[in-house]
Structure 1
């Protein structure tokens, strides 16, 4: 059956244009005016985009499915307009072997509502100093490497990992954290940590490891991708490294763009994340990093937890917040509607840029012959977010209660509607 999306404002090749989109045999078959099909989706007054791409989610499956599982995690992605995601390997068991990787990928395919690409760990169990067999993991379907949640403490181990990753053409997506400087902190070091009398995390825990790793990436030629950058110094280091030809890319999370530690109202663990919310100066530097191209993409770091794990105090609660469902709406409302960045820029950071960097050939662009992965957003009406609105099992986000524009109306994956408002 031929389906045509009509009358929408379409993001295509970096521009916003008025065009119809014809879907046939799960693919985009044509763009143009006055296209016809047996089924018509009227997108009048709506924004039509390539399905959003998020290279950083945590689905907790297997091993911690009381927090989230592949079905609920991918449903929350679809609810937020994402059609392609990269799932981190901090599950139980960690996919250290080709056999475990194949099982995870099979389950991702069977249970997922969106395209789920699977990370393998940089080191066995993510915390050891032993490398798994990258070649067999890639052959089994791993698309990149990450120990997210854990910084690699040994420079020698990271050096060896980069050498092996470069040999196997695999990206290392690093959580930059020097544990000796992190010092069991729970909140950014600054006035808010003093006000709330909470153990502080110095920026140096992030920046010193990035500095180390950029030198290692320069030496090895490996593609080093930095997860959730959060400081001005981190971006200064990345800018310098890019000028010197280091193969480095980086992502930023919506919460680091939109919130600073001054916005933490009390000892409320829904604001506890790693890296922590930084100073307003750092937040503004991240915005500048979007504008000047230092930051390559936006990724949510969707980190679901059970309610009891996010209750009480910063001192005892788990790190992390959910992000799949509120990412586009919160960024559109707070950055595009306020003219901080253009809609075209935001969409590039959430579609074609991550697809290009991670070589996701099917994703990020609307053009004939491509997979019909599309999202329709309502950018003209706002909605107040409530806990009961989420598709995720988890509700641990400070964005609940906000009135946001940019609700997802319809998400289409391989020509099939997987979410409808």
Structure 2
């Protein structure tokens, strides 16, 4: 198949041309490709061709691991221009079991966007290290750590990550500080009379885990960072990195698209659609986080997908569940903010959404449009727009620029 006449945009270049796909891979990229006899031609004039986005932080609906919820997540991810999603293991039943990973593997042929799993370092019931070697063999592509786990177990988990050459995924929260909180600690939480989550619950854990990562020499993602001081902490640690045991730590900061677009003001009137964890912050923090993305200090963006049913959201603010369901609009949301509003180039846009997360996962054949790379591709129409008319969405009545037209995973059209 040849995708013809698209504006081809990846982390290396922006050029109009043609792309040939054979099997699951890209085999040719050129200004113009002469079709072979009976070769399928897809006219992509006026469209952009991008590597599929990779989201490193998603969860299934209501944190319930089931075939139905996995298929739903996969379909919504593809609608949002995501061709690969990393599923967090903190669900029920846990993904950190051979049974959970076997279910994930069994559904691979049914998925639209690929879903890969990671293993939680510690079994929550026994508080002992999970059998990480077995889980890695079953397909776990990384190790998930809650920052308040035992230090010795954390060290051992890092050793496994080094052994298997997989990333660590750090969830940075001091649960003793944030346990009863439901929104950001500030004037608004006081005015609403709601228990708050202090920024300290994130930043102190970022400081601890960044030092751990530096010392152990691991590749680490700081998940869904929402405090600018967390960025400064990691920047400082990265400036002091030295080789340890023949490895230099690689530290990646991730934030969510919601923390780049929304503020805590949305929580006024006890709007549970804005109840997200980590909590939405002030406008000044939002602007600082956007600047950090533009300065290449925050290099990963997530949809922070965590769909919750209306039964869990349509409650008093304190009782309602944390969560947001916007993954189906992920690429248009990012395009609207980063390209239309903040004037990033399409190369920078593609680097953040595709190349950087592929690099984190150690997937050398994803994230670019070049011969030998996997044909995980999105045709994107930058001239269209769409209005969010869901009254239960934090983006109700928002207009997003651009729309996903077609999605290919491993050369197969899935949308």
Q: TM-score, normalised by structure 1?
A: 0.90
Counterpart-to-counterpart distance in 2, 1:269 and 1:48: 37
Counterpart-to-counterpart distance in 2, 1:252 and 1:60: 21
The offset of 1:298, in angstroms, is: 1.0
Q: What is residue 120 of structure 1 aligned with on the other side?
A: 119
Q: Helix, strand or coil for the counterpart of 1:337? A: helix
Task: Name the CA shift for 1:128/1:184 in 2 (closer, same or farther; >3 Å).
Answer: farther
CA offsets 1:267-312 (integer angstroms, 9 cap, x no match): 1111011100012222122112112222121121211111111112
Q: What is residue 139 of structure 1 aligned with on the other side?
A: 137
Aligned length: 405
Q: What is residue 21 of structure 1 aligned with on the other side?
A: 19
Q: Helix, strand or coil for the counterpart of 1:69? A: helix
The offset of 1:242, in angstroms, is: 1.0
Q: Helix, strand or coil for the counterpart of 1:264? A: helix
Q: Helix, strand or coil for the counterpart of 2:357? A: helix
Q: Structure 1 runs of 4+ off > 3 angstroms?
A: 60-66, 153-157
Q: Helix, strand or coil for the counterpart of 1:9? A: strand
Matched, 1:251 2:247: no
Task: Name the CA shift for 1:346/1:314 in 2 (closer, same or farther; >3 Å).
Answer: farther
Q: What is residue 70 of structure 2 aligned with on the other side?
A: 70
Q: Helix, strand or coil for the counterpart of 2:270? A: coil
Q: What is residue 83 of structure 1 aligned with on the other side?
A: 83
8 A contact 1:261–1:278 mirrored in 2: yes
Counterpart-to-counterpart distance in 1, 2:28 and 2:184: 50
8 A contact 2:26–2:371 mirrored in 1: yes
Task: Name the CA shift for 1:226/1:217 in 2 (closer, same or farther; >3 Å).
Answer: same
Q: What is residue 107 of structure 1 aligned with on the other side?
A: 106
**Gap regions ≥5 residues in structure 1:** 388-394
8 A contact 2:259–2:286 mirrored in 1: yes
The offset of 1:158, in angstroms, is: 2.6
Counterpart-to-counterpart distance in 1, 2:168 and 2:319: 30
The offset of 1:92, in angstroms, is: 2.3
Counterpart-to-counterpart distance in 1, 2:354 and 2:8: 13
Q: What is residue 235 of structure 1 aligned with on the other side?
A: 231
Counterpart-to-counterpart distance in 1, 2:63 and 2:176: 30
The offset of 1:89, in angstroms, is: 1.1
CA offsets 1:372-417 (integer angstroms, 9 cap, x no match): 1110111112111234xxxxxxx96312331111110001111211
Matched, 1:92 2:88: no
Which residues in structure 2 correspond to 1:14-413 (within 5 Å)? 14-35=12-33, 36=35, 38-60=39-61, 63-65=64-66, 69-97=69-97, 99-125=98-124, 129-147=127-145, 151-245=147-241, 246-387=249-390, 397-413=393-409
8 A contact 1:355–1:364 mirrored in 2: yes
8 A contact 2:18–2:29 mirrored in 1: yes
Task: Name the CA shift for 1:343/1:195 in 2 (closer, same or farther; >3 Å).
Answer: farther
Counterpart-to-counterpart distance in 2, 1:374 and 1:77: 13
The offset of 1:128, in angstroms, is: 5.3
Counterpart-to-counterpart distance in 1, 2:268 and 2:44: 39
8 A contact 2:93–2:100 mirrored in 1: no
Task: Name the CA shift for 1:61/1:359 in 2 (closer, same or farther; >3 Å).
Answer: farther
Q: What is residue 246 of structure 2 aligned with on the other side?
A: none
Task: Name the CA shift for 1:176/1:136 in 2 (closer, same or farther; >3 Å).
Answer: same
Counterpart-to-counterpart distance in 1, 2:48 and 2:91: 36
Moved more, 87-96 or 155-164: 155-164
Q: Helix, strand or coil for the counterpart of 1:248? A: strand
CA RMSD of the aligned region, Å?
Answer: 2.1
CA offsets 1:237-283 (integer angstroms, 9 cap, x no match): 11011111143212111001111113434211110111000122221
8 A contact 1:101–1:142 mirrored in 2: no
Counterpart-to-counterpart distance in 2, 1:171 and 1:27: 25
Moved more, 401-410 or 357-366: 357-366
**Gap regions ≥5 residues in structure 2:** 242-248
Counterpart-to-counterpart distance in 2, 1:89 and 1:240: 30
8 A contact 2:9–2:346 mirrored in 1: no
Counterpart-to-counterpart distance in 2, 1:310 and 1:32: 50
The offset of 1:346, in angstroms, is: 1.9
Q: TM-score, normalised by structure 2?
A: 0.91
CA offsets 1:162-200 (integer angstroms, 9 cap, x no match): 233333333220111101111410000112212222111
Task: Name the CA shift for 1:340/1:277 in 2 (closer, same or farther; >3 Å).
Answer: farther
The offset of 1:101, in angstroms, is: 4.9
Moved more, 349-358 or 128-137: 128-137
